[in-house]
Amino acid sequence: MTTEIKEQTGPSIESQIDSEETVSIRVEDLIVGRRINHPIYDAHGVLLLAADSVVNSRFKQLLRDRKMPQVEIHNEDAASVSLGSDTMLDASSQGIFSTELTAKLDRLIESGSMFVANTGPAVRDSMVMHGCKAYDPAQREKLFEQQKQFGESLDGMMRGALTGKPPSGADITGMAASYLTQLTSDADSVISAAVEAGKDESLSQHCLQMSLLGMAIGTELNLDENNVRNIGLCGLVHDWGMVRVQEKIGRGRRQLSPLERMEMQKHPIFSLEMLENVAGIPSVVPVVCYQVHEQPNGLGYPRQRSHKMIHLFARILNVAHSYVSLTSSREDRPALMPYAAMEYLLRLTNDKTIDQGPMRALLNLLSLFPIGSIVILTDGSAARVIRRNKDFYTGPIVQLIQTADGKNVDPLDPDSIIDLNVSDLEIDQALPTPGKDEIDLSSDLFDGQI
């Protein structure tokens, strides 16, 4: 049997390519020489490989030429044509995509009723901008304390939702509302505190970071208070399903086998199931949690939706997730430097892996040298980026930490704050965060995976 890519479609292609019986497998994971019993189609219903064909290297190369990083494979073929069949996981959850719950959401998404409109003034209009000013130390201490408390509360809520004692929607909304108030008073300080507090990389801290960054992107996109708070709420709960996944495959902070990846990709649906029992959350929340890992190019999960079929809040949180994930370390690679993460994400907007609008908002928000970055200036001194500078991505506001001859700078000295927009100094290079083993894009350890 020869392997051919045929430009032909069958009568029930739509149902086959959107089938509940297929899973996404990375092209690189396909094993040459294995036979498939079911046909493989692309996202447009074009037959890629007929039933009863053998996967060969020419077929894999043709998929690469078509810039297809993954293909939909029938469940019955998945374990035999991809690596990792020895790690077969609990088969009882394989049919999860056919649940009534996801079918209901799919119908809602397909009805196109996901339009986002403001009913009040944009939050951005009421945000306090601080210009060339250091963070308020007292407020900062309060922020770190609150971040810790919120993390503990969120851990408790996740455990409760898992064991049949779910929190109330009001508790979670209260948390998002509190974040929104702080964000309005000093967004730069809150974002930098969130980035620093997130260093412990627990699931709850990841959710808190996503919530804050997502809300900040929402404000940049001129959304009103209700919408921004809902984004924050979605960020807080979107990954609860990971608790169930982690019971099976651990924290997943490493390269996963194809079957482990399939299991991990169910977490948005597990989150939905846990949220079903939380009373009083807005109806938009389950839709967004279900879609956070979809990509505008149709290569995300769990349903491979493309741009117009993905809720704006999910596209916003996907950008936040990508940034947080790249700047976090995994077991098999250190974190990317914030500057490198930003550069990489800008590249990913070209092939629509991430959405351009929210990405531009993130750039506005953090600048090209993101808040918290350590940089060397053209006079040789070292500084930390503390605030963005509107529309001046390469020249944020920085605080000197060390002079060119190695002397530490007093953080209370008002002259230590420099607005690079009106200074002769420029950023010469970005450095890894002290104490963190960060890498840049040229490192062999960086595999491009978000």
Q: Give the footprint of Fe ion on this chain (CB under 5 A).
A: 239
- Min CB(238)–Fe ion separation in Å: 6
DSSP 407: P
Which residue is nearest to Fe ion, using beta carbons? 239
Q: How many residues does the chain have?
A: 450
CA distances from 276 to 105, 133, 286, 311 (A): 12, 45, 8, 19
- Min CB(283)–Fe ion separation in Å: 20
Q: Is the CB of 188 or the CB of 239 nearer to Fe ion?
A: 239
Q: Is the CB of 239 or the CB of 294 nearer to Fe ion?
A: 239
Confirm if 318 and 354 have CB atoms less than 8 A apart.
yes
Beta partners for 427? 377
- Min CB(289)–Fe ion separation in Å: 8
Rounded to whole angstroms, the Cα distance separating 233 from 425 reads 40
Q: Is the CB of 284 or the CB of 400 nearer to Fe ion?
A: 284
Q: Is the CB of 341 or the CB of 371 nearer to Fe ion?
A: 341
Between β-strands 53-54 and 70-74, what pairing exists: parallel, antiparallel or unpaired?
A: unpaired
Residue that is written with structure tokens 């020419």 in the block: 58
- Min CB(202)–Fe ion separation in Å: 14
- Min CB(43)–Fe ion separation in Å: 22
Residue 400 backbone dihedrals phi, psi, to 5 degrees: -65, 140
- Min CB(413)–Fe ion separation in Å: 42
Q: Is the CB of 52 or the CB of 276 nearer to Fe ion?
A: 276
- Min CB(204)–Fe ion separation in Å: 13
Cα-only R_g, the chain: 23
Q: Is the CB of 43 or the CB of 450 nearer to Fe ion?
A: 450
Q: Is the CB of 63 or the CB of 326 nearer to Fe ion?
A: 326
Q: Is the CB of 302 or the CB of 395 nearer to Fe ion?
A: 302
Compute the half-sphere exposure of residue 163: CA atoms within 13 Å on the CB side of its CA.
6
Between β-strands 374-377 and 70-74, what pairing exists: parallel, antiparallel or unpaired?
A: unpaired
Nearest to 232 by CA among 178, 301, 300: 178
Confirm if 322 and 348 have CB atoms less than 8 A apart.
yes
Nearest to 227 by CA among 112, 116, 355, 359: 116
- Min CB(194)–Fe ion separation in Å: 17
Nearest to 384 by CA among 143, 140, 192: 192
Describe the crossing of helices 137-162 and 267-275 by its angle, rounded to 10 degrees.
90
Distance of CA 173 to the CA centre of its chain: 21
